[in-house]
Structure 1
Amino acid sequence: MRKTTRRVAGIGATLLAAASMSLATTSPASAEEYHPGSWVGTGTNWAPGEDTYSMTTHLVMQDDGNFVLYCRNGTGQDALAIWNSGTWGNPGAHATFQADGNLVVYSSQGTPLWYSGTYGSGGNQLAVQDDNNLVIYRDDDTPVWQSNTYHACPAYTRLD
C-alpha cells in the first residue's frame, strides 16, 4: 500500500512561504533559498513502501529498510539518491517522526537503526523541500536538522 502525505498547494503554499521568511539563518534552509514542498508533523510513520514527496524530491521507506531521499526527474520518477539513512539490509524496518522531535528508523523488532539526534529540540515539522533538502523545523521556523542536500539534484529537477 502506498501512502502519500499531504502536499502544500495554493493558499497554503503562499502562507507557508510567507511564514518561512521569518527564518534568520544563512544556512541552506534559510528563507533566501527556501522552496515550499511537503510538510508532515510529528507522529508521522513510514512503513516499507510509504513515502512523502515534493515537486522535485521524494522521501521513501524502502522495502530493504533504507530511508532514502531521491531527486525526481522531469517525469516525476526517482532519478538519483541524494541522502539515505544507511539502514539497508533490514527488511521490515520503518521510520517515525516522533513527538519528541526525533526522526528514527527502527528495525522490524523495534531496535533503533538510525536517528536524527533531534530529541527534545522542539522540532515538530519535517519538510521535503523543493530545493532538495530534507529539514526538521521548530514552530518558529528554525531548522534543527537537515540532510544537507540543498540543490543536490541536477538542474532539470529543480524549480529555481
Structure 2
Amino acid sequence: MARPPAEPADDTVSPRGLPTQRLTPKPIFVDASGGRRRRLRILVAALVTPAVAYVALLVSTLLGGPTLPALLPQRAKSTGADKLTTSHVTEPLTNQHTTPTAKSASEPALSTKASTTKATTMASTKASTTKASTKQWSTRVIQGTYVLGPGESVASNRMRITMRTDGNLVITDENGVVHWSSHTLSEGAHAVFQGDGNFVVYNASQETLWSSNTAENPGAELVIQNDGNVVVLSTDGRALWAAGTEH
C-alpha cells in the first residue's frame, strides 16, 4: 500500500542545519460591524454630547432657566460663596439704613431753621409792638389866635396839621398818612384857629371855605391828643369838634 504523504513538519532546517520553529500567525477577532466603525461612533458620541448639552444650556439661559452655576454642585464650605452672599445681603441693608438716617438728619435741621426763623419773626414783631406801645406820645395844645399859612404846619410827635399850598387842610400821622382833610382847593388859602374857638379855612379873599362851627367859645383850645385825635375843647373840657383821627 502506498503511504500517505507525510505532513510537513513544523520545524525546518536552517541553512546551518539547525532546526527552526515556524511562526504561525495568531487569529484576529473583529465584530460584525468592524472595529473602525465602532471607534468612529464612540468619537462622534464624545463630540456631539457636549455640543448638545451646551446648546440646551444656552437656550435655557435665554429663556430664564437655570444657568451653569446653578447646575454645578456646590461645595459645602465655600469662602467665595460666603463672601458673595454677604456682599449682596449687606449692601442693600446698608443702603436702607443710610438713606433714612440722612433724611432724619436733614429734617431736624430744616425744623430747627424754620423754628429759628419763626422765633426771630415773633421776636421782631414783639419788639416792634413793645416799642410802639412803650413810646410816649405827646399832646400839643394850641390856643387862639393861631394862623397856618400856605405850606405851614403844627404838630406833636404823633400827628401833624398842615395847610397845603393847594388850599387843602390835612391831618397826617407819624408815617405821613392822611387821616383827615378839609377838601378845600384854593390858591393862597390859609387856616386860622380863632380866639372865639372857631377853626376856619379862608381863601385869599378872606371868604370861609371850611370851619369847625365852634364859634362863640372864647378860651377854647385846639388840642392834638396823644391818642392821635385832633379836637376843639371848651374851657370846661367838653369836645366841641373832633377830627376822628385817633388810632
Task: Tell me if TM exceeds 0.5.
Answer: yes
> Residue in 1 aligned with 2:245?
149
Partner amino acid for 1:56? Answer: R
In the TM superposition, what are the counterparts of 1:1-160 in structure 2 within 5 Å?
A: 36-73=138-175, 78=176, 80-88=177-185, 90-122=186-218, 124-151=220-247
- Superposed displacement of residue 38, structure 1: 1.1
Partner amino acid for 1:55? Answer: N
Distance 1:119 1:134 in 2: 17
> Residue in 2 aligned with 1:5?
none
Could you tell me the TM-score, scaled by structure 1's length? 0.65
Unaligned runs of 5+ in 2: 1-136
More strand by share: 1
Deviating above 2 A after TM superposition, structure 1's stretches of 4 or more consecutive aligned residues are none
Pick which of 59-68 and 114-123 moved more: 114-123
- Superposed displacement of residue 123, structure 1: 5.6
- Superposed displacement of residue 121, structure 1: 3.4
Structure with more contact order per residue of length (Cα contacts < 8 Å, sep ≥ 6): 1
Indicate conservation of the 8 Å contact 1:43/1:96, yes or no.
Answer: yes
Indicate conservation of the 8 Å contact 2:147/2:191, yes or no.
Answer: yes
When Rg is computed on C-alpha atoms for both structures, the one with the higher figure is 2
Distance 1:144 1:46 in 2: 21
Indicate conservation of the 8 Å contact 1:37/1:53, yes or no.
Answer: no
Distance 2:193 2:160 in 1: 16
Q: Deviations over 1:46-100 (max 9, x none)?
A: 0011111111111100000011000112xxxx2x100011102x01100001121
Indicate conservation of the 8 Å contact 2:138/2:157, yes or no.
Answer: no
Aligned residues: 111
More helix by share: 2
> Residue in 2 aligned with 1:10?
none
Indicate conservation of the 8 Å contact 1:37/1:128, yes or no.
Answer: yes
Distance 1:150 1:62 in 2: 22
- Superposed displacement of residue 36, structure 1: 4.2
Unaligned runs of 5+ in 1: 1-34, 152-160
CA RMSD after TM alignment: 1.4
Distance 1:130 1:69 in 2: 14
